[in-house]
Each structure stands twice: as C-alpha cells, then as structure tokens.
Amino acid sequence: MNNHEIDYKIYGDDMQFVEVELDPQETVIAEAGSFMMMEDDIHMETIFGDGSASTGGSGLMGKLFSAGKRVITGESLFMTAFTNQGHGKKHVSFASPYPGKIIPMDLSELGGKIICQKDAFLAAAKGVSVGIEFQRKIGAGFFGGEGFIMQKLEGDGLAFVHAGGTITKKELLPGQTLRVDTGCLVAMTSGVDYNIEMVKGVKTALFGGEGLFFATLRGPGSVWIQSLPFSRLASRVFAAAPHRGGDKGEGSIAKGIFDMFGGD
C-alpha cells in the first residue's frame, strides 16, 4: 500500500461534509477552499500538486511538472495537506461546495484509477495521484462541455468526489452504451470508452433545450451520474435573479412599462 489508510464518516443529506479520521502521521490532501474544521495537533501545509511520489518524477522539476499539469484543468498549482502530528486519533472535515453528494471511492477496488470531471475532486488520502486524462478523440475536446481534459485519480487509497443533486451509479456490461448529458457525467472507471456525439435532427438540437451534444459511454465499467450539474444550477439562478438590483425586480414587466412612460 502506497497510500495512507484513512477512515471517514459522511454527515448530512443535501449539504454534506466528510469527517476524516487520521492516525498519528497520517495525511489527507484536499482542494483549496474545501476545508471546514480540524482538531488540535493537525498540521496544515500548502504543497505543490498532490504530494504523491508516483507522478512527475523526483526533485523540484518533477514537483513543478506534476503541479503544473493541474493548471491545464483550471485548478490551482497548490493543494493543502493535513497531517496528524499528535499521539492519538484526530479529525479534519471537508465540506461540499454546493448541494449534492460526496462519493467515497476506494481506488484499490476500482482498478486503481478513476476518471472524473475536473471540478469533482474534493479530498483524498496522501499518495493518491491527482493528474489529467487526455481523451483520445478530438471531438470530446471541442464539444464535450466538460472538456477535452478530465481529471484522473490514481492509487490504492480512498478519494472523495463531489457531485450535484442525486447521484446514480451505472454498471455497464462489455459493449453496453449509455448516452449522458455532458454536464451530468461525474466519474467513470478507466475501462469505459468515452466519446461525444451530436444530437441527430436539427429541430431536436435547436428546440429540444438539451444542447447539441451528449456523451456516449461504452462499457465495461462503472459510471457515476449527477442529476444537477453546478453549471445548470448556476444558469437557472442567474436567469431567475433580478438583473437591476434591489426590489426593482419585483413586477419587472409592469415596472418596465411604467419606466417607458417616464416613471422613476
């Protein structure tokens, strides 16, 4: 085992957080901004990349290369490591950034590798490598919505992935195909083939309201799907919010007519 063996407990329903239990000298890594609380004797340190020794080689250049790959996915160069420097068990907690579920994934039971959306990773045991996954097909890059580049989590330890709304896990048999909205794809095991297809029929594409492209996933392997991607939630909130500020959004149609005739 190369990864630290951590225990955990997930609290909450729609706004979850995960509490990680660390034995002395055990470490958990997390994305910047996910920290919630921690007990005494836990040392918090900003590190380059994921702190694993399995990627990017050794030395300063290796660490810079490993961390620099994260910039391509839009993530920070840095992550935060939390180490128990006390003599007993200690706890540190990490919170979800928006309503949804936290999915614990034991990489040792999932073939040692998970491919996920670039913003899905929350935290992991030290030793788990957080890198990038280049899709083989160019179409996935230009039209995939979630991008040509996805994150990959490698190792034999625990990792925690966050997704929006309700989560469902699908087991695909060899050759079995599942078509998914590109934003609803959370994660998949490495054996799943991923591609992008254009919605057939011009009317469906233009007036169906579901976009021009969807992801085609072909088994064998496991796939995790979310019901509420953050991008969809944000667009609905933005569309419903008053754009002129204050209480001027109330009765906006009547207010607009009133303004047309010289009202203040």
Is the peptide bond prior to 24 cis by the omega test (within 30 degrees of 0)? no
**Residue 59 above 60 pLDDT?**
no
| 256 belongs to a structural domain | no
Residue 132 to residue 241: CA distance in whole angstroms: 35
| 157 belongs to a structural domain | yes
| 250 belongs to a structural domain | no
Instruction: State which H helix or E strand residue 214 sits in.
Output: strand 213-218
In this predicted model, what pLDDT tens digit does every residue of 66-87 receive, in sequence order? Answer: 555 555 555 566 789 999 999 9
Would you say 188 and 217 are in contact if contact means Cβ atoms under 8 Å apart?
A: yes
* pTM for the whole structure: 0.77
Residue 84: what are its φ and ψ, rounded to 5°?
Answer: -80, 110
Q: In angstroms, what is the C-alpha Rg of the chain?
A: 22
CATH of the domain at 97: 3.60.160.10
| 32 belongs to a structural domain | yes
Instruction: State which H helix or E strand residue 167 sits in.
Output: strand 167-172
pLDDT: is 191 or 55 the higher one?
Answer: 191
User: Which residues, 6 or more positions from 218, have their beta carbon under 8 angstroms from its beta carbon?
Assistant: 172, 175, 176, 177, 178, 192, 193, 195
Provide the domain count of the chain: 1
| 257 belongs to a structural domain | no
**Residue 221 above 80 pLDDT?**
yes
168: left (phi over 0), alpha (psi -120 to 50) or beta: beta
Poorest-confidence range of 38-47, 202-211, 238-247?
202-211
| 260 belongs to a structural domain | no
| 262 belongs to a structural domain | no
Residue 147 to residue 247: CA distance in whole angstroms: 38
Residue 163 to residue 180: CA distance in whole angstroms: 15
Would you say 53 and 98 are in contact if contact means Cβ atoms under 8 Å apart?
A: no
| 224 belongs to a structural domain | yes
- What is the residue range of 135's domain? 7-240
User: Which residues, 6 or more positions from 231, have their beta carbon under 8 angstroms from its beta carbon?
Assistant: 183
**Residue 184 above 80 pLDDT?**
yes
- In order of 166, 239, 249, 258, 261, the CA distances from 254 in angstroms are 38, 18, 10, 6, 11
Strands across the sheet with 7-11, in order? 7-11, 17-22, 90-95, 35-38
- In order of 241, 245, 250, 253, 263, the CA distances from 260 in angstroms are 22, 18, 16, 11, 7
pLDDT: is 146 or 113 the higher one?
Answer: 113
Residue 30 to residue 57: CA distance in whole angstroms: 21
